[in-house]
Chains A and B, each alone.
Chain A
C-alpha cells in the first residue's frame, strides 16, 4: 500500500491554514501547519514533509527566504509558493530558487487538486526510481558470490560508495576479486553509461605506462604514426581502474597526482591541455601504508587515492562461501563448455572447505574448471581436485621466494638431514649449504 504523502501548510492567516488543512485531510494526506517561516523550519528539522505549501508574504522571514533555506537543507522538497499579490518578478524569483510551482490565492479547487496530484506523482516516481535503482544494484553484483558476513560487508560498502565520485582503493590478496568489485562500483554508479577503463600498471614499463595513461601525439616517438588517446581521456565521464597501483614508478606517481588534482593532462609529445572527468578506482595486494612509510609510495598520492578503502578478505577467512562459489563456477564452466550440469561429492567439498587457498577465488575457479575438463562428467570427486598436489602459492611472486620455500619444506620433511634433503632436491650438499646460507634458513 502506498504511503501517505505529507503536506506542510505555511501561512500566517489562520483561516487559510484551516481551510487547506480540512481540504487535504479529506483527501487523505498527512497534514501539518505552521504560522510562520521560523516555525515551519523548526518543524522540518524533525519531520520531513513531502510538499510544502507556503505563502510568500509573511511577517518576519518571507516565503522566498524560507524556500531558499528549505532547498539548502533538503533539495528534493517540493515547495509550492502561494500569494495573493502575484507579480511576474516574484514568480520568476520563486521558480529560480527552486519552487515547484507558484499559485495565486484564491485558487480553483480543481487547480489545487491537480497541482497536489502532480506533485504527489513526482514524489511517487522518485521513490519508485529509488526502488528500481536498488533492485538494479542487486542484479549487477551476481558475480560477487557469497553470503558470509565479510562478503555482505563488501557489498554494503560497494552500495554506499557507488553513488559518489570518491576515489576508492580496493585491497586484498591476489585472486580475491578486486577487479570485480571495481566493476560493481562502476556499474552501479551514475557513470555506468560511460566506459570503465582498466589499466594493469604492473604489466607496463614506465614509458609505456605514460603513453598508455596520457596518450601520445603522432611522431612523439618512433612508431607513433597516429595520435593515440590515453586511458584517462578514454575514461571521460566514466571510471578508470588502476590495478596494481603499488607498482607505479616514482616519476609516474608525481604525474598521476597532478592529473588527479587537475583532471587535466598533456599527451606525450603534445602541448595541448586535455581535460577529462573520470573517477579513479585503484587496487593493490600490497600494504600501501607501509610502502608510504618506507618511502616507496608518495604519501600525498596515497591520501588522494585512499578516500574510501574496500578490503576484500581472503577466501580462507570466509570458507562458508566456498559451497556457493563451487556451485557458481560449476554452472559457469558447464554452461561455457556446453556440458550438462554436474555436482560435487561431499568428500571433495569437505576437502575444499578445509583447504587454505593461497591463490584465493582464482585458485578455486581454476580447480573447478580443471575438474570439469578432466572429470568423468557426472560428479567432481577428490581425485579430480589438485589439492595439495599441484597447488601453487600464487601469493609468491619471485622465483627466489619459491625456491626458498621449497628448500625449507624439503629440509623440514627430512628433519634437516642435509644429505637426504640434497638427494631429494637432486643437488649436491655444497649447493644446498650455499642455498641455506643465501636464504638464511635455520632449523626451528
Chain B
C-alpha cells in the first residue's frame, strides 16, 4: 500500500540545515511527500555506560511504539553513537518492510576520524544513509550494484563509494512495492 508520506523526526541536537537539504532528495527518490518534526525522548535510558554508546535496538523499538503511524514511514534522526548488542557500531537501522528506522550522523563526520571537517561530505553521507534506511522500510534489501544507495556500507569510506540514488533494479522493485 502506498504510504501517505515519509516522516523525519529529529531527536536531540541535529543540524536543521542538513535536514532541510536532504528533504527534497528523499521526496524525489521515493516519489512522496516528506515532513519533518522534532521528537522528545530521554536518550539517557538508551545509554550503555560500559560501551559509552546508545543502544540502537531498544531505541528503534521505542520509536516504533511511540512515534510510528501505519500511514507513514518514520525515520528517527540522531547525532549519537549507536550500537546494537552484537556489533561495535551502526550508522543506522530499520525494520525491513516496517514502519520505523533510525540514522545517526555521529559517525559520518570526518572529524570523528581525525580528518578535517567537510560539511559537504557529511551532507552526502547523511543523504545516502537516510535514503538507504528508508529503502529498507520500503522492503529493499542490500544491493550488489556498487553505486546503488542500497549497497551495504560497513565503514564510513564505504559510504563515499556508492551513489545517493537507487539503481534501476531497486527502483523497479520499489515501484512494484509502492504500486502493487
Contact = CB atoms under 8 A, between A and B. Distances in A.
Interface of A: 13, 15-16, 18-20, 22-23, 25-28, 82, 105-110, 112-113
A287 B88 CA distance: 71
Interface of B: 57-58, 83-90, 93-96, 136, 141-142, 152, 154-155, 158
Contacts of B155: 109-110
Contacts, number: 63
A16 B152 contact: no
A164 B144 CA distance: 40
Listed residue (B83, B90, B152) with the most chain A CB atoms within 10 angstroms of its CB = B152
Given A22-B96, A25-B96, A28-B142, A113 B152 contact: yes
A20 B141 contact: no
Listed residue (A23, A82, A109) with the most chain B CB atoms within 10 angstroms of its CB = A109
Given A19-B84, A26-B136, 6 more contacts: A18-B57, A19-B86, A23-B86, A26-B94, A27-B141, A110-B154
B95 A22 contact: yes
Given A22-B95, A27-B142, A106 B83 contact: yes
A20 B57 CA distance: 10
B86 A26 contact: no
B157 to A, nearest CB: 11
Contacts of A19: 57, 84-87
B87 A109 contact: yes
B96 to A, nearest CB: 5
B129 to A, nearest CB: 13
Nearest to B51: A106
Please give me the 5 A-B residue pairs with the lowest Cβ-Cβ distance, nearest first.
A19-B84, A110-B154, A28-B141, A109-B154, A15-B85
A18 B83 CA distance: 13
Contact of A26 (B58, B87, B96): B96
Listed residue (A13, A16, A22) with the most chain B CB atoms within 10 angstroms of its CB = A22
A110 to B, nearest CB: 4
B84 A26 contact: no
A205 to B, nearest CB: 68
A113 B141 contact: no
Contacts of A108: 87-88, 154
Nearest to B95: A22
Contacts of B95: 22
Contacts of B158: 110
A28 B93 CA distance: 15
A26 B85 CA distance: 17
Contacts of A105: 85-86
Listed residue (A18, A26, A106, A113) with the most chain B CB atoms within 10 angstroms of its CB = A26
Nearest to A27: B142
A117 to B, nearest CB: 10
A3 to B, nearest CB: 15
Contacts of B94: 26
A82 B85 CA distance: 13
A20 B141 CA distance: 15
A15 B58 CA distance: 9
A158 B142 CA distance: 43
B85 A22 contact: no
A274 B147 CA distance: 64
18 contacts: A15-B57, A15-B84, A19-B57, A19-B84, A20-B86, A22-B95, A23-B84, A26-B94, A26-B152, A27-B152, A107-B86, A107-B88, A108-B88, A109-B87, A109-B90, A110-B154, A112-B87, A112-B154
B93 A106 contact: no
A15 B158 CA distance: 27
A26 B142 contact: yes
A199 B7 CA distance: 81
Contacts of A113: 152, 154
A25 B141 contact: yes
Contacts of A28: 141-142
B90 A106 contact: no
Contacts of B88: 106-109
A13 B84 CA distance: 12
Contacts of B89: 109
A23 B141 contact: no
Nearest to A9: B86
A26 B93 CA distance: 9
Contacts of B58: 15
A16 B154 contact: no
Contacts of B141: 25-28
Contacts of B142: 26-28
A25 B98 CA distance: 12
A19 B95 CA distance: 11
A121 to B, nearest CB: 13
A440 B96 CA distance: 89
Nearest to A110: B154
B20 to A, nearest CB: 28
Contacts of B84: 15, 19, 22-23
Listed residue (A13, A19, A108) with the most chain B CB atoms within 10 angstroms of its CB = A19
Nearest to A113: B154
Contacts of B90: 109
A18 B157 CA distance: 27
